[in-house]
Structure 1
Amino acid sequence: MSQSQPQPQPQSKSKSEQWQWENATAGAAAGFATVAAMHPLDVVRTRFQVNDGRVSTLPSYKNTAHAIFTIARLEGLRGLYAGFNPAVIGSTVSWGLYFFFYDRAKQRHSKNKEGKLSPGLHLASAAEAGALVCLCTNPIWLVKTRLQLQTPLHQTQLYSGLYDALRTIMREEGWSALYRGIIPGLFLQVSHGAIQFTAYEELRKGIIDFKSKDRKKDSESDDKLLNSVDYAILGASSKIAAVLLTYPFQVVRARLQQRPSSDGIPRYMDSWHVVKETARFEGVRGFYKGITPNLLKNVPAASITFIVYENVLKLLKMARRKD
């Protein structure tokens, strides 16, 4: 047997691993760009989500514009960027891991299918990636939520930053507290990501098919046919669908992740308790509190994410080809 026969397999594996890390790098860059541009709206959204109209330590905001103005006036730029560090870390890590796990899942599902995936397999790949990301990043999102809820109405600053928050939560509430909201978080990550990425992939294929009618296809034509405007439209459209269908999970998670009262008793005991109390006192509208700043943040943010992701990925591909 010739010694040269086994060599293609390691070479293929190396290219596959390099492609996965390119996806992770592009996703991380996209996540950082998204948070840096849209964080003040994230603060507003979180404060709307947890304000159930009953006992609250948060100021009362009439709408998104009023909330931004009030926070800027009372708390300054620091208030608008409360929780920024965990948001940057969480978003960068989440998007990097998401694209990494998503691409691995797609590669696994595409074996023996000539590289083409059905909508169902896109859905399964996105759901798998979402679940893994949620398990890895829930503590970061919990800290971000608590830092965003600190206002001048608190007599003392509860947490001075990311590290202090993690240390204080573990000391006062134990390790399990870092995973408060994990159940709605899993439902959110799996369903939201699955809906968004399935919509993105299907719309992307539709645009490529439409644009390629009058052009000769080659092995790299898909990347050449799409530009940043296409990626912006794809990202925004898929995000709107995902937000509208999964937003109640965000509200449930945010309410579960609030700091317990001074006697150590959480406001809500579990996800079902949040659902019952919200439905009883606020009705359906309660599950959509903060959706306006959420859409204002996430629709353009999704466009930024996919523009950065696709273009960084193109640059990495070009660099790889030169090597």
Structure 2
Amino acid sequence: MDRKKCSRPEVNFISGLLAGLNNAIICAPLDTAKTRLQIQGLYNKSYSGTTQTLSMIYKTEGIRGLYQGSSITILAYPLSWSLYFIIYEYLKSVTNDYTSSSLYSNILSASGAGLVSTVVTNPLWLIRVRLQAQREKTNSGWEIGKNLIQKEGFLSLYRGFSASLLGVGHVIIYFPMYEYFKEHIYNEDQPTLIGVLISSWIPKVCASAVSYPHELIRARIYTHDATQDKRFCGFKGLIMFTFNTEGFKGFYGGFFTNIFRILPSTFVTLYTYEKVKYFLEHN
């Protein structure tokens, strides 16, 4: 396949935008359930498992509760994925000129794209998690952001950034594996449903098993109010608090709900991306 054709930014932007939008709309309730399970160790809630969590949210908050934070999600996912794929494909085209190893090229590209995407979108993820957690007295993402800036300054929007940076490790594991499976299953041919399913799911389970603790820690930092809750301080303090109160398994709270969420989410995202990209490149 023509390398220049692959790296056209408008193709990657549109493909990533539509992929992120599909992800946001389809997977919102599972995303809310995952967040509630991740943070409950701090607040002694009684969620237990995907079905029970979804049921409890629906009974106490209605359908609106399942879609808390969707206004931010619809912005954050498309922005994150479109930005990620533009940078990822561009860096692949650049690094391929300096290394004969596609693995090294994919690792470097995933790292760079993950870093930039994290810097740009961290405030949106923070606000979204706070909306999903329902610990604020407002349902407005704008109000949450404004209140944080007024109380703690603009940099408060980057709370949890250290934990977010660890998330770059997820894409370093995931995307090289995804590229490997994709190359050996359908390569330059039109992406098939089964091909994308296998290529996206196996790497996702592997990457998530390794990197999931960072997601849990990040969600807890996002919702923690340091002015009211003095049980721990900062990123390292939260890690020790979680381990001391819940043990090692505490870092995997909501893991199976997350797996249940990310498998369809990942498939929807990458299938949309690959199909739209193929269509734009061949028409």
TM-score normalised to the size of structure 1? 0.82
Residues of 2 paired with 1:110 and 1:70: CA distance? 50
Query: Corresponding residue for 2:97?
Result: 111
How far apart are 1:110 and its partner, in Å? 1.0
- Describe the SS at the equivalent of 1:204: helix
Q: Indicate whether 1:206 and 2:184 are aligned.
A: yes
Equivalent position of 2:162 in the other structure: 183
Percent identity of the aligned residues?
Answer: 28
Over 3 Å counting, the alpha-carbon distance change for 1:135 and 1:266 in structure 2 is farther
Show CA shifts across 1:217-243 (max 9, x none).
xxxxx4326412201221111211111
Call closer, same or farther: CA 1:250–1:266 in 2, change over 3 Å.
farther
Residue 25 of structure 1, CA deviation? 1.3
1:81 corresponding residue in structure 2: 67
Distance 1:252 1:187, change over 3 A: same
Measure the CA separation in 2 of the matches of 1:24 and 1:186: 23
- Whichever residue aligns with residue 181 of structure 1, its letter is G
Name the residue aligned to 2:131. Answer: 147
Structure 1 residues 266, 169: CA separation in 2 closer, same or farther (over 3 Å shift)? farther
What is the CA–CA distance in structure 1 between the aligned matches of 2:40 and 2:271, rounded to whole Å? Answer: 34
User: What is the alpha-carbon root mean square deviation over aligned residues?
Assistant: 2.1
Count of matched residue positions in the alignment of Structure 1 and Structure 2? 282
How much has 1:16 moved relative to structure 2?
6.0
Alignment of 1:1-323 (within 5 A): 19-52=8-41, 56=43, 59-111=45-97, 117-150=101-134, 158-188=137-167, 190-208=168-186, 222-224=187-189, 226-260=191-225, 263-265=227-229, 268-319=232-283
Q: Distance in 2 between matches of 1:119 and 1:163?
A: 41
CA distance in 1, matches of 2:132, 2:105: 37
Cα separation, partners in 2 of 1:318 and 1:205, compared to 1, 3 Å: closer
Q: Aligned AA for 2:64?
A: R
Q: Distance in 1 between matches of 2:174 and 2:73?
A: 20
Alignment-mate amino acid for residue 108 of structure 1: V
Structure 2 residue runs without a partner (length 5+): none
- Judged with a 3 Å threshold, the aligned counterparts in structure 2 of structure 1 residues 266 and 103 are, in CA distance, closer, same or farther, namely farther
Classify 1:18/1:250 alpha carbon distance in 2 versus 1 (closer, same or farther; 3 Å).
Answer: closer
Q: Deviations over 1:158-182 (max 9, x none)?
A: 2231211211111122112100000
Distance 1:103 1:309 in 2: 12
Maintained 8 Å contact 1:39/1:80 = yes
Confirm or deny: 8 A CA contact 2:191 2:274 kept in the other structure. Answer: no
Residue 197 of structure 1: how far off its partner (Å): 0.4
For 1:253 and 1:267, locate their aligned partners in 2 and report how far apart those are by CA, in whole Å: 17
**For the structure 1 residues 182 and 267, does the alpha-carbon distance in structure 2 shift closer, same or farther, using more than 3 Å as the test?**
farther
Output the CA distance in 2 between the equivalents of 1:177 and 1:185: 14
- Partners in 1 of 2:228 and 2:256 — Cα distance? 32
Q: Are 2:191 and 2:275, in contact at CA under 8 Å, matched by a contact in 1? A: no
**Hey, what does 1:214 align to over in structure 2?**
none
Q: Is the 8 A contact 1:255 1:268 kept in 2?
A: no
